[in-house]
Structure formats: structure tokens, C-alpha cells
């Protein structure tokens, strides 16, 4: 722009214009799986309510019971599916983003000790317990932030997602801290929905199959409805069972394929607190909300309690007199929330309390040389 003249918009055939068109077309294509599931759901409603219950069932009591139960499952299914789709994934809070001066320093300094120092300074007051494979602070150069524990960058959403599990095309959304409970309930209620349809449709499917009922328009709907419900039940049961196992172990899908790396070593069970506590991490403390698609998960998504086994050898002994290097079978919890507790994984000289800084004053030169910036998706 010169002499106060406004810059002209890109021409219709310019590369920038075509790039915008491609992005919009890609966003529309992402909704195709959701529209497919929604169309199957609408057809199943018509087939079950109209063709099976209203036109085929002759017993009034059976008709009323099936309609009432069906609408309960249908409502819970749609509610949890809606919440999974339209709940925005949570991103790291501002404290994890590099300041303007830190970003400038990171871009100006060559890779090496200088960049390590910038990242150490940015992360020293953050509740970070995990590292990259090389022992570096987990840093995202696209979002310009220090990654919280269990946070990953989604290539589809192009942003960092707190406690990311996976990007699900069937909901066109990232499944993470903000909507993992909704996703789990969506799987549960969709499975119950399919099982209920298959169980109540079975006798009429057999009658039509054996020509026990006359050929009508309902025959196709009722027979295909049973096949569809049975097929989805098999696939949903395996997927739901897998995510129930993940919840019981307090793991995400990404952590199954790449175990979290703590300072002492890689620990695939580093966030597991025992079955009961693992369950409450996702569903919360109030059981009245467990079966409803309302947010009740514990924490803020940026910090998580760990079992803290095989702690740093430079830590002080435990209150019971046991050395912290010995492997503990019990799950240890910080006395304060992780946001206020001490992280022994960023530097060898802890910078949290002033007393600890004085006690370790002689260890300033013992920083880990492997603490380099590393991009991780």
C-alpha cells in the first residue's frame, strides 16, 4: 500500500483466491461423514417409529413401551452426538504461549544452548511433567507455545488441543479434554440405541423372512433396519470397549501409540491413578451427571496429577523416609494442585520456591544438554 491507496483484492485466478476456495471445499467435505450418520439416524427414526411401531405392531402395550423406550435412547443419542460435534476443543491457556520478546529471542538465536535457555525461562513456572523423546521441552512452533502435558497439535484443526485423543471424522471435531466425556457417551448411547432396535425388531424380521407376514412397504424397512442395527452394534461394541479400557487406564489413543515420556523414563502408566480416580478424571465427582452429556470432567486440561513413580534422584526423600528413587507401588499425589506444585522436570535446579533455589544454588551448571527445542505433533 502506497500514498494512501488500498491494496487491491486478489484476482479471481490468483493462487491465493484458489487456495481459499480449496479450503472452503475441504471444510464442506469434512461434514460428509456427519451428514451420512445424520441421514441414517433420520431414516432409522422413520423406519422404527412409523413402519415398525405404528404400522406393524398390533399389541397396544408393546407399541407404547417400545415408543417410550426408543425415544429415550434416541434423545440421549442425539444429545451426546450434538455435544461431541459442537463442543469446541480447548486450547492451552495464555500462560503457555511465548511472550513477544521470547518469540523474538527464539527466532533470533541459533539452535543450541541459547534457544534452550529461552524455553527454560518460558517454562520454568509451568506445571509440565513430560518431555519429547530427546528430553526437550515440548514446544509447538506453529502455535508458538510450550505444550502442556498430554497436549498435541492437530494437523486438521491446525491448533494445539488439550488432552487430545484423536481427530474423529464422524463428528468432524477433535476429541479431547473438552468433549471426551461426550464422545464416550455418544458411543454408549449409540450402542444401546442399535441393540434396542435389533432386539425389538428381531421377531418381526424373522416373520418377514419366513413369510409369516404379508409383503408390504414395511418389509424392506424392517428387514434392513435389523441388518443395519446389528452391523453397527458389532463395530460400536468394539470401539466402546476400547475407550472404556482407555478410561480405566487414564490413557488417550495417542498415548497408547506413544507413551508419555517423563524425566526418569518413558512411563505408559504415568497418569494412571487407579480405576476409581481414573474414572472420575473423565466423569467427575458428582455421579448424578455421569450419564448426562454435560461437562463434569475434573481439572483444567492443562495439568494432570501423576503417579510420580521413579522420581528424580535429586528429589528429597519422601515423608516416610523412603528414597524417591525407589519404585513406589502407591500412587503419590502432590500436596497442592499441579499448577501450584513443584515440577522437577524442567531444570535440575528447581526454580519454584526460593528455599529450594537456595538449597540447589550449587547445581546451576548441571542443566541437561539434551534440553533442545523439538517440534512434536
Catalytic sites, residue numbers: 168
139: exposed, middle or buried (C-beta count within 10 Å: 0-12, 13-18, 19+)? Answer: buried
Strands 159-161 and 152-154 come out as: antiparallel
CB-based contact 267:310 (threshold 8 Å): yes
Complete DSSP assignment for 352-366: SSHHHHHHTGGGGGG
Question: Which residues does 149 contact at the CB level (< 8 Å), separation at least 6?
Answer: 127, 128, 129, 130, 260, 302, 303, 304
Q: Which residues pair with 130 in a beta bridge?
A: 262
| 3-class DSSP state of 286 | coil
C-alpha cell at 322: 523412603
Question: Which residues does 261 contact at the CB level (< 8 Å), separation at least 6?
Answer: 130, 131, 132, 133, 135, 267
Name the residue among 257, 232, 207 with its Cα closest to residue 52. 207
DSSP character at residue 312: -
Complete DSSP assignment for 138-180: EEETTTTEEPPTT-EEETTTTEEETT--EEETTTTEEESTTTH
Name the residue among 341, 289, 339, 337 with its Cα closest to residue 311. 341
CB-based contact 336:330 (threshold 8 Å): no
Cα 156 to Cα 144: distance, rounded to the nearest angstrom:
17
Cα 73 to Cα 258: distance, rounded to the nearest angstrom:
36
For the chain, percent helix, then strand, then coil, each to nearest 5? 50, 5, 45
Cα 307 to Cα 81: distance, rounded to the nearest angstrom:
33
Question: Which residues does 41 contact at the CB level (< 8 Å), separation at least 6?
Answer: 77, 78
Amino acid at each position: 500500500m502506497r500514498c494512501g491507496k488500498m491494496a487491491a483484492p486478489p484476482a479471481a485466478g490468483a493462487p491465493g483466491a484458489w487456495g481459499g476456495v480449496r479450503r472452503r471445499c475441504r471444510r464442506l467435505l469434512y461434514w460428509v461423514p456427519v451428514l451420512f450418520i445424520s441421514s441414517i439416524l433420520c431414516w432409522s427414526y422413520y423406519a422404527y417409529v412409523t413402519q415398525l411401531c405404528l404400522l406393524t405392531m398390533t399389541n397396544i402395550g408393546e407399541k407404547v413401551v417400545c415408543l417410550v423406550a426408543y425415544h429415550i435412547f434416541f434423545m440421549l443419542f442425539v444429545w451426546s452426538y450434538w455435544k461431541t460435534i459442537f463442543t469446541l476443543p480447548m486450547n492451552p491457556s495464555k500462560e503457555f504461549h511465548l511472550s513477544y520478546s521470547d518469540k523474538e529471542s527464539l527466532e533470533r538465536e541459533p539452535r543450541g544452548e541459547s534457544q534452550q535457555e529461552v524455553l527454560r525461562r518460558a517454562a520454568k513456572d509451568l506445571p509440565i511433567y513430560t518431555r519429547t523423546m530427546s528430553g526437550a521441552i515440548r514446544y509447538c512452533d506453529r502455535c508458538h507455545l510450550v505444550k502442556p502435558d498430554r497436549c498435541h497439535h492437530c494437523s486438521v484443526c491446525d491448533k494445539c488441543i488439550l488432552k487430545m485423543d484423536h481427530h474423529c471424522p464422524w463428528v468432524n471435531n477433535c476429541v479431547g479434554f473438552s468433549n471426551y466425556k461426550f464422545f464416550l457417551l455418544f458411543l454408549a448411547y449409540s450402542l444401546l440405541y442399535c441393540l434396542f432396535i435389533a432386539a425389538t425388531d428381531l421377531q418381526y424380521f424373522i416373520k418377514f423372512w419366513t413369510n409369516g407376514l404379508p409383503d408390504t412397504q414395511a418389509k424392506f424397512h424392517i428387514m434392513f433396519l435389523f441388518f443395519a442395527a446389528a452391523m453397527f452394534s458389532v463395530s460400536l461394541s468394539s470401539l466402546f470397549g476400547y475407550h472404556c479400557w482407555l478410561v480405566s487406564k487414564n490413557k488417550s489413543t495417542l498415548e497408547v501409540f506413544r507413551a508419555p515420556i517423563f524425566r526418569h523414563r518413558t512411563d505408559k502408566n504415568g497418569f494412571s491413578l487407579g480405576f476409581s480416580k481414573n474414572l472420575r478424571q473423565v466423569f467427575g465427582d458428582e455421579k448424578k451427571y455421569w450419564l448426562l452429556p454435560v461437562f463434569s470432567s475434573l481439572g483444567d486440561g492443562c495439568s494432570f496429577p501423576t503417579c510420580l513413580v521413579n522420581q528424580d534422584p535429586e528429589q528429597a526423600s519422601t515423608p516416610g523416609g523412603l528414597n524417591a528413587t525407589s519404585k513406589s507401588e502407591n500412587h503419590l499425589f502432590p500436596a497442592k494442585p499441579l499448577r501450584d506444585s513443584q515440577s522437577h522436570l524442567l531444570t535440575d535446579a528447581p526454580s519454584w520456591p526460593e528455599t529450594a533455589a537456595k538449597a540447589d544454588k550449587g547445581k546451576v551448571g548441571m542443566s541437561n544438554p539434551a534440553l533442545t527445542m523439538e517440534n512434536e505433533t
